Amino acid sequence: MILEGKRVVETSVGRSPDDMMKVFSRVKSGVPGFDDLVSGGFNEGTVNTVTGGSGTGKTVFATQFIYYGVQNGEKCMIITPSESSESLKREIYSSFRWDLWKMEDQNMLSVVDVTDPTLRLQKSIDVDPVEFLMNFRKLVERKIKEEKPKRVFIDDLMAFFTAVESPFKVRSLADDLFGTLRAGGVTSVITIGTAFGMNQMLEYGADSCTILKRELIGNTLVRSIHIMKMRGSKISNSIRVLDISDDGMVVSALSPYP
């Protein structure tokens, strides 16, 4: 509400235009139940990590974020540093019948395959990881400028950061990459594996961190999700069951614990 002389102007959501300029707009995750845990979605233009062990659902979460964006008319980008993009597309199609090839054909999705030798980013397995990550940052900057996506998903960067010896360098390379993503105005989701125990270095630099796990409850492994942090937002403290089915991923209202 703003006062103009004696006239009171109500805006659509009861906020003044000045207020709306200052607070983040929310970007819906596309994962039903998730946005309720983070006061409405990711903050627009921020870097959001999804951390978990192997098979916890990181790639599914991030791909669903992209799939939802494309379905709602937003241009999106997937960057695959460790796995070939063809494998990712095939896995996702086999699991959910989400057709990433078609989205590319319709120019709604661009897929940057870092394993593609024509990009010459990874000349050999022995390439200096610092040089690789610096070139990777430049590639991301260039692709965002060219394609102008609204949403970006980078799948599992951990292997490259693990090869960097100095923790200080890891932190500064991560900060550079995250800075490039924010400057590009994109809302990004980055998946992080926990195998090498280096995930915290990246999480410190991110704007939000979501944790996926599999917990042993009785005789059953149950998928779980919780939010570790989201800068500039209220978050839920509860741990929730995470379901994956042929329709994709859903955050349940239930806790994995009795």
Ligand X SMILES: Nc1ncnc2c1ncn2[C@@H]1O[C@H](COP(=O)(O)OP(=O)(O)OP(=O)(O)O)[C@@H](O)[C@H]1O
Residues of this chain that bind ligand X (CB under 6 A): 52, 54-60, 95, 193, 244-246
In this complex, which beta carbon is closest to Mg ion, that of residue 24 or of residue 88? 88
Write b or e for each residue in 78-97: b if 16 or more Cβ atoms lie within 10 A of its Cβ, otherwise e: bbbbeeebeebbeebeeebe
**Taking CB within 5 to 8 Å according to partner kind, which of ligand X, Mg ion, none is near residue 54?**
ligand X
Give the count of residues interacting with Mg ion (CB under 5 A). 2
DSSP state of 24: P
The amino acid sitting at 27 is V
Q: How far is the CB of 247 from ligand X (least distance, A)?
A: 8
Between helix 85-96 and helix 58-71 the angle, nearest 10°, is 80
Contact partner at residue 60 from Mg ion, ligand X, none, CB < 5 to 8 Å by partner kind: ligand X
Shortest distance in whole angstroms from residue 214 CB to ligand X:
9
Q: Where are the alpha helices (DSSP H) in the chain?
A: 17-22, 34-37, 58-71, 85-96, 100-105, 129-147, 158-162, 167-183, 199-205
Q: Which of 43, 49, 59, 180 binds Mg ion (CB under 5 A)?
A: 59
CB of 133 to ligand X, least distance (A): 20
User: Angle 62-149-226 (CA atoms, 0-180°, nearest 5)?
Assistant: 25
Strands 7-9 and 2-4: antiparallel
Q: Which of the choices ligand X, Mg ion, none does residue 159 contact, using the CB cut-off of 5 to 8 A by kind? A: none
Rounded Cα gap, residues 33 and 26, in angstroms: 15
236 binds, among Mg ion, ligand X, none (CB under 5 to 8 A by kind): none
Contact 210, 217 (CB under 8 A): no
Terminal Cα-to-Cα distance of the chain (whole angstroms): 45
Residue whose Cβ sits closest to Mg ion: 59
Least distance (Å) between residue 252 CB and ligand X = 14
Token pair listed for 70: 């494309």
Between residues 43 and 198, which has the closer beta carbon with respect to Mg ion? 198
Q: Residue 43 or residue 188: which is nearer to ligand X going by CB?
A: 188
Q: Shortest distance, CB of residue 51 to ligand X, whole angstroms?
A: 9
Shortest distance in whole angstroms from residue 246 CB to ligand X: 4
Query: Do 210 and 37 contact (CB within 8 A), yes or no?
Result: no
Q: Measured from the CB atom, is 12 or 220 closer to ligand X?
A: 220
- Quick one: what does residue 55 bind among ligand X, Mg ion, none, with the CB cut-off 5 to 8 Å set by partner type? ligand X
Judged by CB under 5 A, does residue 64 bind Mg ion? no
Rounded to a whole number of angstroms, the minimum distance from the CB of residue 157 to Mg ion is 11
Residues at the contact surface with Mg ion, assessed by CB under 5 A: 58-59
